[in-house]
Structure 1
């Protein structure tokens, strides 16, 4: 079942793959957003990005995230390693999803116990830091059935895919279309611009829009400027910026 949305139009600015290693990519962009004033962000935090970036090994970055929380931003759990470290793919379909589509689908092939253990480790780290956490987003938005079952047993309020948020534990779908770029090459950036421009026109009257940013977007002027300009345009259209949790809170109260 897909629930109706709140009546007020809104947007959600979401930073993916947040880690000490990716912060230098994001820093100038975040400074530009802060300069606009009053634009909260949802930061998708990876506890140990690619198994070489443990958060606890960077106290300064942890303090930065605490300051963002104090400013009204939200931190969500984004996998644990953000890297697919499972056994080799066994079928052509698995090979495509785990080796061609992405190498970062960490939760694509996990069974329920494996997923539960990794999720609990991530939540324990958040708890150790004293960070509130309401949401989990799987790397590349790829979740196995085991992951879905594990999420039903945890104190989380939501997860998401490219076009929906899902209220947990029931997995009630809530429409929340998202814009995202693939910025790894010039042709991908060109195609991403065309697709996102079309989606902005298609979803002009949508109740909410999610802007899903990645560190690689920040490394290219065309994609970085696109996100800044798109955000300005959406704000000028009267959309209210909200974190994911704030948007869900408003929905519950609607």
Structure 2
């Protein structure tokens, strides 16, 4: 059976209104069968408040899966390698938090995030997804040490220390600039067709998507295109 995995990124008190809007927008397509990627302290200035923690617990009680999504989402590393520096500069606006971290620092942040999310929800975190889907080698190695059952980057989902359990690009959108909006709209349009035969399809939305009507329209069209894929929980991939 073909499966559809939906996720809302950057879940934080900073974007509470946008998260609510995205939940409403996705409800006709997946209900509460989706994942939230929780940022414990977005850009070190939006920690999870007691009120927002209660909302996270409520969503988890409704069946929403919770992933740890970094700690601050901000990249504050000094990138030594040229490839990493180029990724940090061009693939994200200073938000690839785990792209330049050592194993020790990545592991510390992962453990803190996992403990916080699990304390709030009373459930095991489904997994870890790095901000902007970018990992250093040390961060990739730390995933298994932190005890996460699943991890994801732009091209795959895997069990840390084990097998790849889903392959294929995530369908997602970018709202930061007009050029990025147009390129993401084109990519989504192409992937709606290319990924039809794929067993596991992933669609990810972000708070910024709610500010651009064309992106919301594309999101609706994309979910409708995969109506024959069953909305699924990531935990199914954990085995």
| Length-normalised TM-score, structure 1 | 0.86
Counterpart for residue 157 of structure 2: 165
Provide the secondary structure at the position in 2 that maps to 1:67: helix
Q: Is the 8 A contact 1:156 1:169 kept in 2?
A: no
Question: 1:139-173 CA distances to partner (integer Å, 9 max, x unpaired)?
Answer: 11111111111112122111011121011232535
Provide the secondary structure at the position in 2 that maps to 1:136: strand
Counterpart for residue 205 of structure 1: 197
Q: Which has the larger radius of gyration?
A: 1
- Does residue 131 of structure 2 align to residue 152 of structure 1? no
Q: Is the 8 A contact 2:37 2:68 kept in 1?
A: yes
Structural RMSD (CA): 1.8
Relative distance call for 1:234 and 1:53 in structure 2 (3 A) is same
- Give aligned pairs, total: 237
C-alpha distance in 1 between matches for 2:130 and 2:167: 18
Relative distance call for 1:191 and 1:67 in structure 2 (3 A) is same
Task: For 1:158-197, list aligned pairs within 5 A.
Answer: 158-172=150-164, 174-197=166-189
Counterpart for residue 239 of structure 1: 229
Structure 2: runs of 5 or more not aligned: none
2:4 to 7, 11, 17: 11
1:97 to 87, 94, 98: 87
Counterpart for residue 74 of structure 2: 83
Provide the secondary structure at the position in 2 that maps to 1:180: coil
Question: 1:63-117 CA distances to partner (integer Å, 9 max, x unpaired)?
Answer: 111111111110100001100122x333443332223332111111111111111
Tell me the CA shift for residue 194 of structure 1.
1.4
Relative distance call for 1:36 and 1:170 in structure 2 (3 A) is closer
| Length-normalised TM-score, structure 2 | 0.92
Tell me the CA shift for residue 37 of structure 1.
6.5
Task: For 1:100-119, list aligned pairs within 5 A.
Answer: 100-102=90-92, 103-119=94-110
Structure 1: runs of 5 or more not aligned: 1-7
Q: Is the 8 A contact 2:96 2:130 kept in 1?
A: yes
2:27 to 27, 30, 34: 34
Relative distance call for 1:170 and 1:157 in structure 2 (3 A) is same
Task: For 1:130-145, list aligned pairs within 5 A.
Answer: 130-145=122-137
